[in-house]
Copies of this chain bind each other. A is one copy, B any other.
Amino acid sequence: MTKIRAGRHGTKKDTIIQKAAALFRIKGFNAASMRELADSMGVEAPSLYNHIGSKSEILQAICFSIAEQFTTHLLWTEQTEMTGLSRLEAVIRFHIRMMLEHYDEVYVANHEWKCLKEPYLGNFLNQRRQYEKRLAAWVETGIRKKEFRVANPYVAVLTFLSALRGLELWLRHKKNFSADELKNDMVNLLLRGLIN
């Protein structure tokens, strides 16, 4: 009879969620079973229910924790960085940091949100749309100030966010890389372009 260990910085529920994120990332939410999750902790499946309410609840915890961190950082950046360039640079740096420090959770939030149940699904999508809108407002401001050139701000935002989501591909390839180097490359590429 193994026991679920509470991590140094969290409850046993947090430990379950963390393990679940790793499992969901590898197998996908639907394909990952509670039995597997329990197995990965050396425990029987029903034991998990002493700590969590349901499988769905775990996914909700993952998605909203991540969403909240991104939103919070966006608002913070808005008040600390004033130029479009420095703001977008801050966003890139934060996405890289999140991807490095919370790979599983970020991946799951990006790929398995569709498995959320209402009203959480709608909620999550709303939060994302808000994020995109605020970012688009930055770009629009930058365009007005002649800082950026771009025809459609939404094209820029969606391209930008997609490219950042692609950071996961980078980690998947498991190349050895420095976060700073990666950040510089992406800033140069997205903001200054590929062409010499």
Contacts and interface: CB of A to CB of B under 8 A. Distances in A.
A interface, over-half SS: helix
A170 B147 CA distance: 24
A64 B125 CA distance: 30
Contacts of A4: none
A61 interface: no
Contacts of A184: 151
**Could you say how many copies of this chain the assembly holds?**
2
Interface string A10-36: 000000000000000001101100000
A158 B152 contact: no
Interface residues of A, number: 49
A31 B31 CA distance: 9
Interface string A166-196: 1101100101010001101110111111111
A65 B150 CA distance: 34
Interface of A: 27-28, 30-31, 85, 88, 111, 114-115, 139, 146-152, 154-156, 158-167, 169-170, 173, 175, 177, 181-182, 184-186, 188-196
27 contacts: A27-B114, A28-B115, A31-B115, A149-B195, A149-B196, A150-B188, A150-B194, A151-B181, A152-B185, A154-B173, A154-B175, A155-B170, A155-B186, A156-B185, A156-B189, A158-B169, A158-B173, A159-B166, A161-B169, A162-B165, A162-B166, A162-B167, A190-B194, A191-B193, A192-B195, A193-B193, A193-B195
